[in-house]
């Protein structure tokens, strides 16, 4: 993916949370290395999925690029403009272009505000007066997200979980953003409702051309929603690729293990080949040296303990498919029908 | 074992669990029947509020008797549980039947070491001494795959990781070799790689001890991995029952079909919208009449005479297979044909 002019350009992004000692001196005695040197780009209208297990830093990444948190190191460029340490004033115009959708539809809406004032809130703050007035715009937005515009004056508790998440989506759309960071937008919802919200987000992404950073732990949903996917582990990107390459030809042992651990609702005649990782994710306070995955990797050698593998295009990968591993898995002979979406492009 | 294999180990007949609340009576479980034989895993699938957890709390007698009214029968190995005294229930709980909960951190006491909590159950039911119970606790921790169990036995729950806590809870549940284990979303809070470990562990332990397991989850993928039989619940009722192969490959209820269709897969086509189930799960305070799924059902109008909204479809189970739907078998074959075509090439 050679992006000459990406919408979002992140390089070396790092966030360490200091750990303070006890009373009385409260010195910094260590750091939780939540995110450690991420490089990725998001082009306009594209959806990048961030997947990984809990503690891998995917949510922190979301909060860093929305600048809800201050990065420790690295740079974040939005439309070529460095916003890594931008102050409030400089951020103000950008804030309206980068919006966020949160996981918990119960906690992210103010219970004392009506739906109308929740959704018009961003317009009020930014002093935006759309044609025909804010109320008309809110009603339009409610319609876009599939809610009844008549519900303008209702309170969040009058809605179900799926409907509340729609309100969250409407609020994020209110300022016509160019980038939406969605942090586990469907994981709190029932299975039958998840699909409704995923479809809505997909519609929004397509029709309004909004770029997404889609953070989730559910690999199937990420595959469904994102054109490019980055797999994270302990604050680092292990592998990043276009959707088809990542899911059909995973090169990093962790990606492969993660994919094989996903339970699928199908009954196979022959059981799938499974890779069972032993142990748990190590603590990000004191992550393993070298490759962070090496303590659970079945291929790890001494080299893995000393040299951190760079995120590069390993041999056999397509351009844009980057893997951080000294001993990548053999490329798969990909079954043709799964990849060839467009026969002409494949030829 | 061979002679008792035919006899259901757990048998639930027409169970009704109703709570009275300020707003009215919540019909959390409304006429549920199922059997479970030894060494089998029954997966119960359903969304939040479908009554799956309430059913299992009732089996264990963990409901609040003051505001719950229960009808029906629960027979465990021939013993009626609903009329059993609290004393009798105490003897059974943790001994003959036990439970694993979703949130291991909330279910373990933060003030006691893991070892003491495991040993307590064992001492209570066997009456053995402290030293012996401690030995047993270490043995159990080893069985569930905790490294260095003789050291970790003295750790507190907060010193364990999420997966290890869930293992410790499994150790506690299995310490008395129960014959029935109820696992209520035991892997939902875990990462997929750890979830896979825990499910392997449960399968191994079941093979070793011949435990009957009720596995409650909302995730059909997990069901496909662990269950023998599947029971699909909706609005406090069972809507479909069968082996996992039957239910996942050839669903006979529109709700099951809807669930399967709404899930994205790792291999299916991308760039096509998912097929969600419209609407939201019903409120059990005022559930829909007739079939509880009919307001969300895509096929309700195919049934003549508006039967779906007026008449409760009966669940008839033949050879362990059945569904509660007014559609005829021929209609289902026709209407569900798309599913079979897209799902199985």
Q: What is the pLDDT of residues A39-91, one digit of tens each?
A: 999 999 999 999 998 889 999 999 999 999 999 999 999 999 999 999 888 89
Do A202 and B162 count as a contact with CB atoms less than 8 A apart?
no
The Cα–Cα gap between B140 and B146 comes to 9
Q: Which chain B residues touch A223 with a CB distance below 8 Å?
A: 264, 266, 270
- Full strand arrangement of the beta sheet holding B180-184: B97-100, B180-184, B212-217, B41-45, B229-234, B237-243, B322-323
Q: Per-residue confidence at A284, pLDDT binned at 50, 70, 90?
A: confident
The Cα–Cα gap between B156 and B171 comes to 15
Q: Check whether A1 has a pLDDT greater than 90.
A: no
Residue A125 CA, chain-centre distance (Å), reads 26
> Any chain A CB within 8 A of the CB of B260?
yes
- The nearest alpha carbon in chain B to A271 belongs to B225
Mean pLDDT, all residues of chain B: 89
Nearest-CA distance B76 → chain A (Å): 30
Predicted pLDDT at B145: 86
pLDDT tens for each residue of B143-165: 888 888 999 999 999 998 888 89
Of A161, A199, A258, the CB nearest to B193: A258
Nearest-CA distance A280 → chain B (Å): 7
Residue B220 CA, chain-centre distance (Å), reads 12
Do B193 and A261 count as a contact with CB atoms less than 8 A apart?
yes
Q: Per-residue confidence at B285, pLDDT binned at 50, 70, 90?
A: confident
pLDDT tens for each residue of A230-282: 999 999 999 999 999 999 999 999 999 999 998 888 887 676 778 888 878 88
> Any chain A CB within 8 A of the CB of B264?
yes
Q: Per-residue confidence at B189, pLDDT binned at 50, 70, 90?
A: confident
User: What b-and-e string marks burial along A25-36, b requiring 16 or more CB atoms within 10 Å of the CB?
Assistant: eeeeeeebbbbb
Q: Per-residue confidence at A283, pLDDT binned at 50, 70, 90?
A: confident
Q: Per-residue confidence at A323, pLDDT binned at 50, 70, 90?
A: very high
Predicted pLDDT at A254: 94
Q: Check whether A339 has a pLDDT greater than 70.
A: no
Q: Check whether A38 has a pLDDT greater than 70.
A: yes
- The nearest alpha carbon in chain A to B227 belongs to A267
Q: Per-residue confidence at B223, pLDDT binned at 50, 70, 90?
A: very high
pLDDT tens for each residue of A138-149: 999 999 999 999
Q: Check whether B115 has a pLDDT greater than 90.
A: yes
Selection from A230-234, A283-287, B81-85 with the highest mean pLDDT: A230-234
User: What b-and-e string marks burial along A237-258, b requiring 16 or more CB atoms within 10 Å of the CB?
Assistant: bbbbbbbbbbbbbbbbbbbbbb
Do B248 and A258 count as a contact with CB atoms less than 8 A apart?
no
> Any chain B CB within 8 A of the CB of A343?
no
Do A265 and B265 count as a contact with CB atoms less than 8 A apart?
yes
Predicted pLDDT at A343: 38
Predicted pLDDT at B294: 93
Inter-residue contact A217 to A223 (CB < 8 Å) = no
Domains and CATH numbers, chain B: 10-96+178-265+275-342 (3.40.50.300), 110-166 (no CATH)
Can you tell me the mean pLDDT for B290-305?
A: 89
Can you tell me the mean pLDDT for B38-47?
A: 92
Q: Which chain B residues touch A161 with a CB distance below 8 Å?
A: 280
Q: Check whether A341 has a pLDDT greater than 50.
A: no
> Any chain A CB within 8 A of the CB of B227?
no
Mean pLDDT, all residues of chain A: 88
Do B280 and A53 count as a contact with CB atoms less than 8 A apart?
no
Q: Which chain A residues touch B277 with a CB distance below 8 Å?
A: 192-193, 195
Q: Check whether A344 has a pLDDT greater than 60.
A: no
Q: Which chain B residues touch A259 with a CB distance below 8 Å?
A: 266
Predicted pLDDT at B340: 65
CA angle B46, B282, A143 (to 5 degrees): 110
Can you tell me the mean pLDDT for A154-177?
A: 92
Element (DSSP H or E) covering residue A63: helix A58-65
% of chain B exceeding 70 in pLDDT: 97
Inter-residue contact A167 to A144 (CB < 8 Å) = no
Q: Per-residue confidence at A346, pLDDT binned at 50, 70, 90?
A: very low
Predicted pLDDT at B241: 95
Question: Which of A270, A266, A243 is CA-nearest to residue A338?
Answer: A243
Q: Check whether B296 has a pLDDT greater than 50.
A: yes
Nearest-CA distance B262 → chain A (Å): 5
- The nearest alpha carbon in chain B to A262 belongs to B192
Q: Check whether B273 has a pLDDT greater than 80.
A: yes
Predicted pLDDT at B209: 86
The Cα–Cα gap between B318 and B320 comes to 5
Predicted pLDDT at B342: 64
Q: Check whether B92 has a pLDDT greater than 60.
A: yes
């Amino acid at each position: 993916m050679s992006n000459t002019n990406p919408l979002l350009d992140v390089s070396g992004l790092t966030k360490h949370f200091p750990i303070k000692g006890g009373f009385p001196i409260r010195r910094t005695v260590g750091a939780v290395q939540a995110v450690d040197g991420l490089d990725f780009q998001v082009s306009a209208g594209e959806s990048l999925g961030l997947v990984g297990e809990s503690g891998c830093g995917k949510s922190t990444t979301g909060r860093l690029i929305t600048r809800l948190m201050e990065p420790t190191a690295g740079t974040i460029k939005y439309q070529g403009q460095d916003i890594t340490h931008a102050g409030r004033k400089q951020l103000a115009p950008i804030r309206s272009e980068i919006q966020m959708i949160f996981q918990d539809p119960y906690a992210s809406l103010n219970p004392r505000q009506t739906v109308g004032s929740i959704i018009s809130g961003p317009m009020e703050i930014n002093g935006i007066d759309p044609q025909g007035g804010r109320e008309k715009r809110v009603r339009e937005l409610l319609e876009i997200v599939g809610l009844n515009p008549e519900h303008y004056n209702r309170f969040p508790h009058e809605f179900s979980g799926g409907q509340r998440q729609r309100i969250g989506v409407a609020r994020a759309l209110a300022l016509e953003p160019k980038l939406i960071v969605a942090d586990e937008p469907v994981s709190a919802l029932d299975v039958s409702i998840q699909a409704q919200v995923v479809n809505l987000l997909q519609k929004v992404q397509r029709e309004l051309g909004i770029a997404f950073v889609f953070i989730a732990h559910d690999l199937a949903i990420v595959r469904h929603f994102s054109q490019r996917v980055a797999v994270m582990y302990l604050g680092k990107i292990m592998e990043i690729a276009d959707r088809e390459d990542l899911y059909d030809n995973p090169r990093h042992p962790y990606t492969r293990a993660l994919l094989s651990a996903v339970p699928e609702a199908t009954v196979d005649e022959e059981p799938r080949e499974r890779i069972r990782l032993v142990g748990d994710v190590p603590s990000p306070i004191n992550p393993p040296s070298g490759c962070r995955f090496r303590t659970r990797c079945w291929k790890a050698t001494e080299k893995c303990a000393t040299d951190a593998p760079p995120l590069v295009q390993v041999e056999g990968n397509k351009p844009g498919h980057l893997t951080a591993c000294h001993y990548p898995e053999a490329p798969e002979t990909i079954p043709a029908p799964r990849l060839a979406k467009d026969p002409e492009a494949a030829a | 074992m061979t002679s008792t294999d035919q006899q259901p180990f757990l048998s639930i007949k027409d169970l009704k669990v109703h709570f009275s609340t300020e707003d009215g009576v919540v019909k959390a479980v409304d006429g549920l029947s199922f059997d479970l034989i030894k060494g089998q895993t029954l997966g119960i699938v359903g969304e939040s509020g479908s009554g799956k957890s309430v059913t299992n709390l009732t089996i264990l007698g963990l409901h609040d008797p003051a505001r719950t009214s229960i009808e029906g029968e629960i027979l465990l190995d021939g013993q009626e549980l609903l009329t059993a005294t609290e004393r009798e229930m105490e003897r059974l709980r943790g001994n003959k039947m036990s439970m694993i909960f979703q949130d291991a951190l909330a279910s373990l006491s933060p003030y006691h070491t893991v070892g003491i909590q495991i040993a307590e159950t064992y001492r209570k039911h066997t009456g053995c001494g402290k030293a012996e119970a401690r030995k047993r606790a270490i043995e159990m921790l080893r069985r569930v795959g905790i490294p260095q169990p003789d050291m970790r036995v003295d750790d507190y729950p907060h010193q364990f990781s999420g997966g290890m806590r869930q293992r410790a809870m499994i150790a506690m549940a299995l310490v008395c070799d129960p014959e029935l284990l109820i696992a209520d979303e035991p892997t939902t809070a875990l990462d997929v790689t750890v979830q896979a470990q825990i499910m392997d562990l449960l399968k191994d332990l079941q093979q070793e001890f011949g435990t009957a397991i009720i596995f409650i989850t909302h995730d059909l993928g997990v069901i496909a991995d662990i269950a023998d039989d599947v029971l699909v619940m909706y609005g406090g009722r069972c809507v479909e029952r069968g082996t996992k192969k039957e239910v996942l490959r050839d669903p006979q209820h529109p709700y099951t079909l809807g669930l399967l269709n709404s899930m994205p897969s790792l291999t299916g086509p991308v760039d096509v919208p998912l097929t969600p189930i419209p609407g939201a799960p019903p409120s059990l305070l005022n559930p829909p009449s007739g079939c509880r799924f009919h307001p969300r059902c895509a096929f309700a109008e195919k049934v003549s005479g508006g039967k779906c909204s007026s008449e409760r479809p009966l669940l008839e189970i033949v050879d362990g297979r059945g569904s509660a739907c007014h559609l005829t078998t021929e209609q289902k074959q026709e209407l569900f044909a798309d599913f079979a075509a897209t799902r199985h090439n």
